[in-house]
Structure 1
Amino acid sequence: MLTLQNLTYVHPNKDLLFDNLNITINKQEKIALIGNNGIGKSTLLRIMAGILAPTSGTVKTDSKPYYIPQHFGQYNELSVAAALRIDDKLRALRAILNGDVTEKNMTLLDDDWTIEERCQEALRYWDLAGLDLFQRMDKLSGGQKTKVFLAGIIIHEPEIVLLDEPSNHLDATSRIALYNYIESTNETLIVVSHDRTLLNLLPEVFELSKKGITAYGGNYEFYVTQKAVEANAFSEDLKSKEKALRKAKDVERESIERQQKLDARGKKKQEKAGLPTISMNTLRNNAEKSTAKTKDVHAEKVSSISDELNQLRKEMPDKDKMKIGFDDSALHIGKVLITAGDINYDYGSRPLWQQPLSFQIISGDRIAIKGTNGSGKTTLIRIILGELQPTSGTIQRADSSSIYIDQDYSLIDNKRTVYEQAESFNTGHLQEHEVKSKLTHFLFTKKYWDKPCSALSGGEKMRLILCCLTIKNTAPDVIILDEPTNNLDIQNIEILTAAINEYIGTIIVVSHDAYFLEQIGISREIAVATIES
C-alpha cells in the first residue's frame, strides 16, 4: 500500500505546485497518473520514491518503491550496474567466488546469491543479452537506457514500481514487451505516460490538475469518455452563462430606456401643471435618483454574470481555446511526388537495408516509416528530403515543398524570442498585431512573446512550430515528423493530432505510437530493416 496524506510541494522559487493531496493506492493496484506538462507528475513520483521531500504532508509505503526516471542523461557517467545500484553487490559476489570471503564483502552481498542470475534473466527479457554491466551508460542508446532501468524490476523484485514515461525511446518490439509486463505483473504500479495504448492497459486513471487529484474508475478510454461528458456539461454551462449575460444586458438597456421615458413624461406633465421651480427641482432629483438606482441594480447583475463567465472561460481546457486554421497544400491530391526503385544506402562498403526499397509517395498520402531503433528510418527521411542520395537504385522527385519536424525541433531557433521565431515565418507580411494574435490562438499570450525559445518545453516548441506553419503564407506540400509524440503530454498530442487532421496534404511520420498513427489516419507504411551483423 502507498498512502499520501495532505501532501504539498512548493518549488524553491516559492511557486506552489500542488497542495493537500490525499491518495491511497492498495496492493497490486495499477494506476495511470496523467496531467498536463508542468503540473507536477514527475515531481509527485519522485516524492513517492523518497527521492524528493514534500514541503508538508507524509508518504507511507509498505515497502521501498522502485523508480524508473524519465531522463537518463544524469546517469551517463555511471556504469550500468552503478545506475541500477547493484555494482557493489556484484563486485562483492565476484570477490567471494574468487576466494576473498571478507566480512565487508559478505555484508555487501547480503546473502543475495542469485543477483547475477537475475541480471542475466532481466537483460534477456529486455533484449539486452550480452550487455556488459560495467560499461558506461553513455555508450547506450535512449531505448537501451530505458530497457536497463526496466530490467531493474526483475533484478530488484520490488512490490511497488513507479514508472515515468517508460515507453519513451522504445521501438515497437520493446513496447510490446513493456505492455506484456504491465498486463501480467502483480506488482503495484503507478505509471506516468502519454502512450495511450499503455494507458488503456491500466484499470484506473488519476488526473493531476490545478484542482488536485481526481480518480476515474476505468482505463484511459473510460477517462476520455468521462472527460467528454464533463466537457459537454461545461460547454452547456458556458452557453447558458453567455445567454444569461446577453439577457441581463438587454433587460438593463430596456429598463433604463423605460425609466428615461417615464421621467420624460413626468417632466412634461409637471411643466404643464405649472409647478413652482423648487417642486420641479425636487421631482427631477427624485427621478434622477430612481434612474441611478435602476442602473446600479442592473449593472451589478451584469457585472456578477460577467465575472462568472470570465471565470468559466479561465477554466476552459487549453486545447479548446486554440484555433489552428491550417492551410492546405497547393498540390492536387494524387500527384506522384517520389518514385523510388530498389534503393539502398551504403555505410562504408556495406548496404544499410536487408532489402532494397521500392515505393511511391503520392500527394495526400499518410505514410508511416516503420522499423526498429537503428534500422535507418532517419536515413530514409534524409533521402526523401533530398539531403542524401541512395548509393544504389533510382529515385525521382517532383517539385514540392516540405517541412521536417525532428525530435529536437530544429526548426526552432533557440536564440530567438517566441515573437521573433513567429515573425521569421511571416512570408505573407502580416502586421505585428496579426502575428501576435496568431501566437495567442496557440496559447502564447503576451508573457511569452519576449521569452527565449530555449526556455520552452518540448510541447511548447511543437505548438510554436504549428503556429509558425499557420503564419507562413503557403502551406508545405509535405510534412515529415520524426517521433513527434516523444516528450509531449497528452494535451499537446491531442493538439498535434487535431492540427494534422485539419491539414490536407502529405504526411510522413516515424513513430512507435500505434494509437497516434491510428488517430491521424495512416493508410500505409514503408518498412525498413537493417542487415544483421
Structure 2
Amino acid sequence: MTAFSLALDRVTFTLPDGRVLFSDLSTSFDTTPTGLVGRNGVGKSVLGRLLAGQLAPTGGQIQRQGRVHLLAQHSGAPAGRIADLAGVAPVLDALARIEAGSVDPDDFACVGDRWTLRAQLQALWQQLGLPALDPDAPARQLSGGQAMQVAVAGALLSDADALVLDEPSNHLDGAHRHRLLEALSQWRGGLIVISHDRTLLRQMQRIVELTPQGLSSHGGNYDLYLQQKQQAQRAAESELALRRHERRQQQQAEREQRERQAHRQARATRDARTANQAPILLGGMKQRSEQSAGRLQAQWAQRRADGDARVRAAAAQVEADVQVALLGPTLGRARPQVALELCDVQLPLLAAPLDRIDLRVPGGARLAVTGGNGSGKSTLLRVMAGRLPPLSGEVRRAVGCALLEQSVFDEGGDGTFIADGSGAEPRSTLALLQRANPAESEGVLRTRLALLGLDADRILRPLHTLSGGERMKAALAAVLYAEQPPPLLLLDEPGNHLDLPSLAALETMLRSYTGTLVMVSHDEALLEAVGITHRLDATAAGWIA
C-alpha cells in the first residue's frame, strides 16, 4: 500500500450549465480518518468525485499520491451482478477463465496476485453480517442495506490506498452499522467519509466541513467539531455585533460633526455679512470653507466604506441559520377505524416464515416496521401500496395512500414514487410539484419549496442533477403537497440523505401529520420523535406486531 496524501490547491468546479458549485478550496488529506460534512446540495458528492479523480477541477489543482477508490451513493435497485456491484467482476471473470483453461496473458495480468479474492470476498461479507452470496447472482435481489454492504466490501478489497465513501451507512440497521464501523476501524489507508450519520462521524478523527464559503477543518470527532463550530459561531456573532456597534457610533459621530460644521458655516456667513470686508476676501473665505467641507465629505465617505467593509467581513464569518420547514398536509377530520388490512397475505420474493402476514392498521396509527437488512420490509410496503401484488390473500385499503421508496430519484432519475404510478420523469422539482398539485398557484408552490431550502435556482434544475438529500425533499414535497394529500403515508427510510436541519423538519411535520403513518426506519431517534404508537418487527419467527 502506497503512503497516501492528497492536496487541494485553490480548487474550483463549474457545472456544465455554467454555475460555480464551489471555488478556491484548499486543504490536504492524509491517513487520518476524516468525515466530510455539509448541507444538502452544497457539493459534497461532487467533491468526493474530484478527490477520487473521477472528475477534473475547472480551476486549481489536486495533487494525489496513491490510488483512491470512490464508493458513490447507492439508491434504487442495483443493476448487473453482485460481482459488478462489488467492483470485482473483471478479476472473478478472469479467474473463472483461467480455471477453465485460459492461458491468455491479459487474464493473468487482470488477476495479479488476487488469487484468493473469492474467499476474501465471502469472509468479508460474513464479517459485515451478509449471508453467503453468489457473485454471479443478480444484484437486484439484494435489499438496499445488503447492496450497500456488498459495495463496501468491494471498496475494502479494492487494493486502493484510500477510500472515499459517500453515505456508506444508508439503509443499514443497527447491527450491520456496528459491523461497518468495526470493518472501517481496521482499514489502514486513507479514509474520507461523506455522511450525515452522527454515529459514524463520531468514529472519525477529523471533520472537514464544506459550506458556500469554502472548506474548514476541525481536529477531533463530530462531537468536538460541533463544540468548535458553536464556539466559532458565537465568536463570529460577537465580532459582527461589535462591528455593527462601531458603525453606529461612527454614524452618530458623523452626524454630530456635520451639525457642528453646519453651525460654523452659518456663523461664518452671518459674521461675513456684518463685517466690512472686501468682496475678494469674502470669496476666498468661501472657497476655503467649501474645500474644507469637501475634504470632510471625502473622509466621511471613506470611513463609511471602511465600516461597511468591516461589517461585511464579520457577517461573512457568521453561518446563516437556514430554517427548513416541511408543512403537514391538511386532511379531513373523519378517518376510518381500520386504514389498512392484510388478510392472510403471502408476500412475494420472501421465504418462510416472513412470507406470511395478517395485519390490521388502525386509522391514525403510527406503525414502525423494523427488522434486519434483507428481511423484507421494503417488499411489505410495496405490497401495502399496491406496487407489488401478493401471491395470495387480500390487501384492503380504506383510504388513498402514497409510498415514498428508498429509490427516490436514483441516478437514473426515476420518479415512480408518485401515487399515480407515472414513470414519466418531470423536468424539475417545480414541474414535479405542479404535476402533483395542478390547482395550486406557482407562487405558493415556490414558497413551499423555498421553506425546504430549495431556492429559485434549484427548483428549476433537472431532478437527476440534485443531491440525494435534495431529491428526497422534492419527493416529500410532491407527496405531502399533492392536490389530494394521502390519508395513508408509507415511508421507506425517509431520513436517508437528509442533513440535520432537514431531518428535524421531517420529524416536526410527521408529529403533526393527522393521517395513518407506516414507516420503515433504522433510526430509533426518528421513530421516537414522530411518536410511534405500534410496531411490526421482522424476526426469525416471522412478523410480530
Query: What are the Cα deviations for residues 376-420 of structure 1, in whole angstroms up to 9, with x where unaligned?
Result: 4585599699x99996799888xxx99876653767983467499
Alignment map for 1:178-197 (pairs within 5 Å): 178-186=180-188, 188-197=190-199
For the pair 1:506 / 2:513, whether they are aligned, the reply is: yes
Residue type at the aligned position of 1:346: V
Contact 1:206 1:214 in 2 (8 A): yes
Contact 2:326 2:509 in 1 (8 A): yes
Quote the Cα distance in structure 2 between the aligned partners of 1:423 and 1:224. Answer: 40
Provide closer, same or farther for how the CA distance between residues 524 and 438 of structure 1 changes in structure 2, counting only shifts above 3 A. Answer: closer
Aligned to 1:241: 243
Contact 1:418 1:453 in 2 (8 A): no
Quote the Cα distance in structure 2 between the aligned partners of 1:108 and 1:220. Answer: 40
Query: What are the Cα deviations for residues 236-266 of structure 1, in whole angstroms up to 9, with x where unaligned?
Result: 2222233333333333333323322333333
Provide closer, same or farther for how the CA distance between residues 369 and 16 of structure 1 changes in structure 2, counting only shifts above 3 A. Answer: closer
Residue type at the aligned position of 2:495: T
The alpha-carbon deviation at position 329 of structure 1 amounts to 7.4
Deviates more, 1:294-303 or 1:278-287: 278-287
Provide closer, same or farther for how the CA distance between residues 429 and 475 of structure 1 changes in structure 2, counting only shifts above 3 A. Answer: same
Aligned to 1:527: 536
Contact 2:433 2:477 in 1 (8 A): no
3-state DSSP of counterpart to 1:194: coil
Contact 1:159 1:187 in 2 (8 A): yes
Provide closer, same or farther for how the CA distance between residues 20 and 470 of structure 1 changes in structure 2, counting only shifts above 3 A. Answer: closer
Provide closer, same or farther for how the CA distance between residues 283 and 92 of structure 1 changes in structure 2, counting only shifts above 3 A. Answer: closer
The alignment's TM-score, normalised by the length of structure 1, stands at 0.73
Quote the Cα distance in structure 2 between the aligned partners of 1:148 and 1:506. Answer: 36
Deviates more, 1:257-266 or 1:515-524: 515-524
Alignment map for 1:492-503 (pairs within 5 Å): 493-498=500-505, 500-501=507-508
Aligned to 1:163: 165
The alpha-carbon deviation at position 505 of structure 1 amounts to 1.4
The alpha-carbon deviation at position 227 of structure 1 amounts to 0.9
The alpha-carbon deviation at position 483 of structure 1 amounts to 2.4
Provide closer, same or farther for how the CA distance between residues 330 and 402 of structure 1 changes in structure 2, counting only shifts above 3 A. Answer: same
Provide closer, same or farther for how the CA distance between residues 137 and 8 of structure 1 changes in structure 2, counting only shifts above 3 A. Answer: farther
Provide closer, same or farther for how the CA distance between residues 496 and 304 of structure 1 changes in structure 2, counting only shifts above 3 A. Answer: farther
Contact 2:521 2:527 in 1 (8 A): no
Provide closer, same or farther for how the CA distance between residues 328 and 46 of structure 1 changes in structure 2, counting only shifts above 3 A. Answer: closer
Deviates more, 1:205-214 or 1:516-525: 516-525
The alpha-carbon deviation at position 82 of structure 1 amounts to 4.3
2:497 to 475, 487, 497: 487
Aligned to 1:147: 149
Quote the Cα distance in structure 2 between the aligned partners of 1:73 and 1:476. Answer: 23
Residue type at the aligned position of 2:237: S
Alignment map for 1:353-392 (pairs within 5 Å): 356-357=358-359, 368-371=368-371, 372-373=373-374, 375-376=376-377
Quote the Cα distance in structure 1 between the aligned partners of 2:482 and 2:91. Answer: 59
Contact 1:31 1:203 in 2 (8 A): yes
The alpha-carbon deviation at position 439 of structure 1 amounts to 6.3
Aligned to 1:35: 38
3-state DSSP of counterpart to 1:243: helix
Deviates more, 1:203-212 or 1:13-22: 13-22
Quote the Cα distance in structure 2 between the aligned partners of 1:316 and 1:242. Answer: 13
Aligned to 2:28: 23
Contact 2:7 2:64 in 1 (8 A): yes
Gaps of 5+ in 1: none
RMSD: 5.1
For the pair 1:346 / 2:328, whether they are aligned, the reply is: no
Quote the Cα distance in structure 2 between the aligned partners of 1:58 and 1:90. Answer: 32
The alpha-carbon deviation at position 60 of structure 1 amounts to 1.1
The alpha-carbon deviation at position 154 of structure 1 amounts to 6.0
Quote the Cα distance in structure 2 between the aligned partners of 1:395 and 1:437. Answer: 33
3-state DSSP of counterpart to 1:131: coil
Quote the Cα distance in structure 2 between the aligned partners of 1:157 and 1:500. Answer: 41
Quote the Cα distance in structure 2 between the aligned partners of 1:97 and 1:453. Answer: 46
Provide closer, same or farther for how the CA distance between residues 361 and 231 of structure 1 changes in structure 2, counting only shifts above 3 A. Answer: farther
Aligned to 2:526: 517
Quote the Cα distance in structure 2 between the aligned partners of 1:383 and 1:414. Answer: 25
3-state DSSP of counterpart to 1:23: strand
Alignment map for 1:101-500 (pairs within 5 Å): 102=103, 104=105, 109-110=111-112, 112-138=114-140, 140-153=142-155, 155-156=157-158, 160-186=162-188, 188-209=190-211, 213-273=215-275, 282-318=284-320, 320-322=321-323, 324=325, 343-344=342-343, 346-347=345-346, 356-357=358-359, 368-371=368-371, 372-373=373-374, 375-376=376-377, 408=408, 414-415=426-427, 418=430, 421=433, 447=457, 456-461=466-471, 481-488=491-498, 490=499, 493-498=500-505, 500=507
3-state DSSP of counterpart to 1:246: helix
Quote the Cα distance in structure 1 between the aligned partners of 2:435 and 2:99. Answer: 67
Contact 2:92 2:117 in 1 (8 A): yes
3-state DSSP of counterpart to 1:529: strand
Q: How many residues get paired? A: 514
Residue type at the aligned position of 1:30: P
| Percent pairwise identity | 24
Residue type at the aligned position of 1:196: R
Residue type at the aligned position of 2:345: D
The alignment's TM-score, normalised by the length of structure 2, stands at 0.72
Contact 1:417 1:449 in 2 (8 A): yes
Query: What are the Cα deviations for residues 198-230 of structure 1, in whole angstroms up to 9, with x where unaligned?
Result: 111223223344665433222111111111111
3-state DSSP of counterpart to 1:259: helix
3-state DSSP of counterpart to 2:538: coil
Query: What are the Cα deviations for residues 72-95 of structure 1, in whole angstroms up to 9, with x where unaligned?
Result: 78973x433345454454345445
Query: What are the Cα deviations for residues 338-380 of structure 1, in whole angstroms up to 9, with x where unaligned?
Result: 6579855725799977564456576xx8764434456345855
Quote the Cα distance in structure 2 between the aligned partners of 1:184 and 1:45. Answer: 22
Residue type at the aligned position of 1:240: L
3-state DSSP of counterpart to 2:134: coil
Contact 1:423 1:435 in 2 (8 A): no
The alpha-carbon deviation at position 59 of structure 1 amounts to 0.9
Provide closer, same or farther for how the CA distance between residues 497 and 424 of structure 1 changes in structure 2, counting only shifts above 3 A. Answer: same
Deviates more, 1:189-198 or 1:223-232: 189-198
Gaps of 5+ in 2: 410-416, 420-424
Quote the Cα distance in structure 2 between the aligned partners of 1:47 and 1:172. Answer: 31
Quote the Cα distance in structure 1 between the aligned partners of 2:135 and 2:435. Answer: 50
